[in-house]
Amino acid sequence: MSGRRKTTYREAVREAIREAMKRDPRVFLMGEDVARYGGCYAVSKGLAQEFGEERIRDTPLSESGFVGAGIGAALGGMRPIVEVMSVNFSLLALDQIVNNAATIPHMSGGQFAVPLVIRMATGSGRQLAAQHSHSLEGWYAHIPGLKVVAPATLEDARGMLWSALEDPNPVLIFEHVQLYNMEGELDDDAGAVPISGAAIRRPGRDLSIVTYGGSLSKCLAAATALAAEGIEAEVVDLRSLRPLDDATIMASVARTRRALIVDEGWRSGGISAEISARIVEQAFYELDAPPARLCGVEVPIPYPKHLEDASVPQAESILAAARELVRPGPA
Amino acid sequence: MSDFRMPSLGADMEKGTVVEWLKKPGDRIARGDVVAVVETQKGAFEVEVFENGVLSEIVVPVGTEVPVGAVLARIDSGEPKPAAAPAPPPAEVPAPSAPLPALPPLPPPRPAGERLRLSPAASRRAAELGIDPHGLAGSGPGGAITLADIEAVAARAARPGAEKGRRGFDPAAMRQAIASAMARSKREIPHYYLGLPIDMSRALQWLAVENARRDVENRLLAGVLLLKATALALREVPELNGFWLDGAPRLSAGIHVGWAISLRGGGLMAPAIHDADGKTVDELMAALRDLVIRARTARLRGSEMTDPTVTVTSLGERGAERVYGVIYPPQLAIVGFGAVRPAPAVVDGVVAARPTVYATLSGDHRASDGVSGSRLLAAIDSRLQVPERL
C-alpha cells in the first residue's frame, strides 16, 4: 500500500524528467537555461548536477537550431526532451516543427520515426506581456503528424512525459505557466499515464464544460459555485488537443445537452471553434442549446494585472457563461 | 504484361512527343535500357524502362504528342497480368469557367420569428412524444423551446390526476397552456374585431322582476341572458360556430358555448355548456354554477374542454368596458361582454342614460367576414331586447 505525498506541478514535471533520464539512457534534456540556471520556470533545477551537462544541455538562443538538433537526435535514435521557454518563442522553430518533425515520418513512408518531445510553457497570468503569454497550442493542434497534449493535473504532469517519449511521433507538451505552483497530492508510485483520451474531471447533468490546461482549475471552481445554484456542470479535461477525443466529448454532450468550451486561446479559428464544429457535426440532435465558447479576448495579452486577468476566462466569467447557457436571462 | 507510360520529366511537364523509338517490338529489354526519346518543352530526353522483359507492342508512334501518363508501349514481363476490371469512365467534371455565372436574385430574407426556435434535442423529443411544439413558451436562449419545455408538457399530459384531481391545478402548467393556445391563435388566426353597445334596460328590468319572485338561490344573473342571447344569435349566423380544421371551416350543428371562467389561482378556462341554445335560462344558470364550481375545484371533464364551438367571455360587473377576445383555436369566434354600465344613449332623438353593455366580436377572417360578425352582434342585440323570450 503506497501513500500520498504533497508536491507541486513543477516538481511533478521534474520528477517525470528524472524518471525518464533514469529509465532510458537515450533520454536527454536541452533548451535555453535548463542546465546551469535550472530552467526559466525552475523545472529542471538540480538535474544538471544529478545527470551532468552531457544530458542536461544548455543551448544557444536559437529555437530553430536546437529544435532542429532535437529532431536530428530523435531520427538518430535518441529520445530528446527539448524545452522551449514559451510557445511564443516556438514560432522561431515553426519550420523545424511543422515542416520537418511533423512530416518526416510521413514523407519517409514510416521509415523514420521522430520520437521527440518538446515541452513548452504557455498561457498568461504571470505578467509577462504579449510576447510571452499567448496560448498558441491550438495552432499546433492543426498540424497532422504532431501530437499535442496539455497536462492540467499533477498526475498528468507526472505521467504524460514518459508516454510521450514512447510515442514514435513528435509530441508537444504544453505546460500552463500558472500551473507550475499548483500544489496537491500525488501517489508515491505515480507513473506514466496515456497521452490520448479526454477525462471527465467532474460529473454533471446540466452542461458540459469542455476545457484543458490552465483553464481546468478555473472551470472546476466555477462548477463548484454552479452547484450551489443547482446547476450541475460536467467538466471535461481534453488532455490531448491532437488528436481530440471526440467520443468522450460527444458522450458528455449527449448526457448534458449543452456545451460550453473554455479556452484561453483566441476565439477566431481557435481549437474551441474546432470543438464546437465537431459537436455540431456529431451531436447536433443531442443539443438543447447552441454550443457556447468562452475564449481569450482578441487582443495581445496585456501587461497590467487587471487587464491581463480580464483578457482570459476566469472562474467568474465561466460561471456567468454557464449560467447563461443553462438559465438564459431575458432575451 | 505491363504498360510503359509517358513519364513526367519535371513538375511542370504536362505532355511530350515521342521523337524516336530505340527498341522495336520483340526486342528484349532490361531495367535501365533507354527505349525512346521524348521531346518536351524543355528539350529532348532519353527515357528508360524500369523492368525486364520483351517489348511487345508500340502504342504511340513517333511524332505523336500525348499527355503524361499515357501508355507508350507494352512490355511482356513474363508475369501474367492480373485481370483487372475495366475502370468506370471518370465522371465529366466541367472545367471551371472563367467568369462567374450571373446569380439569380436571392430570395428575400425570411421575416423574423417565422421559424420556430426549437432546440434539436427538443425537436427530436417532441416528435417522439407526438407533441406539437408550436405555441409552447420556450425557456432556452432567445426564447427557444428546450428539451425541458417539451418534457414538461409530456409530464403534464401523463398526469391525468392533474385534470380531474382534487388538489386544484398547477398554475404554471395552466399558464403554459394559455401561452401555447393564445400564441398559436395570434400566430395563425387573422382576427377581425367588431363592437356594438347594447342597451340593457329591458333585459335588466325583466331580470329584476323575475328575480323578485325567486328564491335567492334560484335568482338569475345578467350573464346568463348574454349567454342565451349569444347562443340563439348563433343559430342565425352559423358561419361563426365551429372550427377551422385542415385549412377550411367546419361548422358545428350543435351550439356548445365555452364560458370563460377565471380561476382564483390565476389562469382561465372556457368549458362547454352543451347545446346552450336549447336550454332554458334556468338550466343555463344551473349549468353555469356547476361549471364554475367544478372549474375552480379542477373537476372538469376533458370533453368539456374540447367541445366548445364558440367562446363567450363576460367580464361581469367589475370588469372593463370592452374586451377584444383572442380566439381559442381552432374555434372561429369569441364574443365578449364588458361590464354593464350606465352610458349615454340616443333614444327617440334624445340623449338618455341607459344601462349598456359593450358587446364585441373577434372573428377568424379566414372563415367569415365582418358582415357575418355584424349580423351576429345585431342578432344578440335584438334578442336582448325581448328578454322574456330568452
Is the model's pLDDT at A329 over the cut of 80? Answer: no
Are B120 and A286 in contact (CB < 8 Å)?
Answer: yes
Residue B86: CB atoms within 10 A of its CB come to: 5
- Looking at residue A155, what is its pLDDT? 97
pLDDT band at B163 (very low <50, low <70, confident <90, very high): very low
Lowest mean pLDDT among A107-121, A270-284, B31-45, B269-283: B31-45
Using an 8 Å CB-CB cutoff, list chain A residues near B133.
none
Q: Which residues of A touch B124 (CB under 8 A)?
A: 285
Those residues whose C-beta lies under 8 Å from the C-beta of residue B338, and which sit 6 or more positions away, are B315, B319, B320, B321, B322, B323, B357, B358, B360
Contact present, B297 and B168 (Cβ < 8 Å)? yes
Chain B: closest CA distance from residue A329 (Å): 8
pLDDT band at B113, cuts 50/70/90?
A: low
Q: How far is B94 from chain A (nearest CA, A)?
A: 30
Residue B138, chain A, CB below 8 Å: the answer is: no
Lowest mean pLDDT among A55-69, A219-233, B276-290: B276-290
Q: Which residue has the higher pLDDT, B319 or B308?
A: B308
**C-beta of residue B322 within 8 angstroms of C-beta of residue B336:** yes
Q: What helix, strand, coil percent values describe chain A, rounded to 5?
A: 40, 20, 40
Average pLDDT over residues A253-268: 97
The predicted pLDDT at position B214 comes to 87
Cell 440532435 found at: A285
| pLDDT band of B84, cuts 50, 70, 90 | low
Residue scoring higher pLDDT (A10 or B178): A10
Q: Are A147 and A172 in contact (CB under 8 A)?
A: yes
Q: Would you state the pLDDT for residue A330?
A: 63
ipTM comes to 0.73
Q: Average pLDDT for residues B153-159, to the nearest whole number?
A: 75
Tell me, what's the pLDDT at A325? Answer: 93
Per-residue confidence at B167, pLDDT binned at 50, 70, 90?
Answer: very low
- Residue B162 confidence (pLDDT) above 50: no
pLDDT band for A327, please (50, 70, 90 cuts).
Answer: confident
Note if the pTM is more than 0.90: no
**Contact B141/A at CB under 8 A:** yes
Q: Give the per-residue SS3 of A173-230.
A: EEEEHHHCCCEEEEECCCCCCCCCCCEEEECCCCEEEEECHHHHHHHHHHHHHHHHCC
With H, G, I as helix, E, B as strand and everything else as coil, classify residue B379. Answer: helix
Query: Which of A281, A288, A324 should be substituted to probe chain B, the one whose Cβ sees the most B Cβ atoms within 10 Å?
Result: A288
Do the beta carbons of residue A186 and residue A8 sit within 8 Å? no
Cβ distance of A287 and B146 shorter than 8 Å? no
Give the burial class of B31: count Cβ atoms within 10 A of its Cβ; 0-12 exposed, 13-18 middle, 19 or more buried.
Answer: exposed
Over residues A15-30, mean pLDDT: 97
Residues of chain A with Cβ-Cβ distance to B148 below 8 Å are 288
* A254: closest chain B residue by CA: B121
CA distance B323 to A19: 83
- Confidence tier at B304 by pLDDT (50, 70, 90): confident
A111 pLDDT higher than 90: yes
The mean per-residue pLDDT over the stretch A230-248 comes to 97
Nearest CA in chain B to A328: B141
Residue B215 has pLDDT above 90, yes or no: no
Q: Is the peptide bond before B330 cis (omega within 30 degrees of 0)?
A: yes
Who has greater pLDDT, B141 or A113? A113
Q: What is the pLDDT of residue B240?
A: 95
Pairing of strands A171-176, A147-149: parallel
Query: What is the four-CA torsion angle of B291, B296, B301, B303, rounded to 10 degrees?
Result: 70
Question: pLDDT by residue (tens digit) across A283-307?
Answer: 999 999 999 999 999 999 999 999 9
Instruction: Identify the pLDDT of residue A186.
Output: 95
**3.20.20.80, 2.40.50.140, 2.40.50.100, 1.10.10.10: CATH of B2-76:** 2.40.50.100
Buried b / exposed e over B199-236, threshold 16 CB at 10 Å, is: bbbebbebbeebeeeeeeeeebbbbbbbbbbbbbbbee
Percentage with pLDDT > 90 across chain B: 37
**Domains of chain A in sequence order:** 7-187 (3.40.50.970), 199-326 (3.40.50.920)
pLDDT at B164 exceeding the cut of 70: no
Select the more confidently predicted residue: B171 or A15.
A15
What is the model's pLDDT at position A245? 98
Is the pLDDT at A252 greater than 50, yes or no?
A: yes
What is the average pLDDT value for chain B, to the nearest integer? 85
Cβ-defined contact of A289 to B141 (cutoff 8 Å): yes
- Per-residue pLDDT, averaged over B204-233, amounts to 91
Q: Which pLDDT does position A1 carry in this prediction?
A: 53
When mean pLDDT is compared across A8-22, B259-273, B295-309, the lowest value belongs to B295-309
DSSP letter at B331? B
A151: Cα separation from own chain's centroid: 5
Phi-psi region of A141 (alpha: psi -120 to 50; beta: other; left: phi over 0): alpha
Homologous superfamily in CATH for domain B191-389? Chloramphenicol acetyltransferase-like domain (3.30.559.10)
The separation between CA A133 and the C-alpha centre of its own chain, rounded to angstroms, equals: 14
Residues of A marked active site are found at 63, 132
In this predicted structure, the answer to whether residue B165 has a pLDDT above a threshold of 60 is no
Give the percent of chain B with pLDDT over 70.
Answer: 88
Q: Nearest residue on chain B to A289, judged by CA atoms? A: B119
Task: State the burial class of residue A2 (Cβ atoms within 10 Å of its Cβ: 0-12, 13-18, 19+).
Answer: exposed
C-alpha cell at A51: 545527470
What pLDDT does B271 receive?
87
> Residues B284, B291, B337, B357: is their CA dihedral positive or negative?
positive
Task: Identify the pLDDT of residue B384.
Answer: 95
Beta-carbon separation of B119 and A284 below 8 A: no
Domain boundaries, chain B: 2-76, 120-175, 191-389
pLDDT digits (tens, 9 = 90+) for A148-197: 999 999 999 999 999 999 999 999 999 999 999 999 999 999 999 999 99
Q: CB distance B139–A328 less than 8 Å?
A: yes
- Which are the contacts of B107, defined by CB distance < 8 A and separation ≥ 6? none
Q: Which of A11-15, A295-299, B66-70 has the lowest mean pLDDT?
A: B66-70
Residue B156 confidence (pLDDT):
79
Report the chain A residue with the minimal C-alpha distance to residue B123. A285
Q: Which of B151, B148, B131 is nearest to B139 (CA)?
A: B148
pLDDT of B166 higher than 50:
no
Contact (CB<8Å) B119/A289: yes
Q: Phi and psi for B54 in degrees, rounded to 5?
A: -125, 130
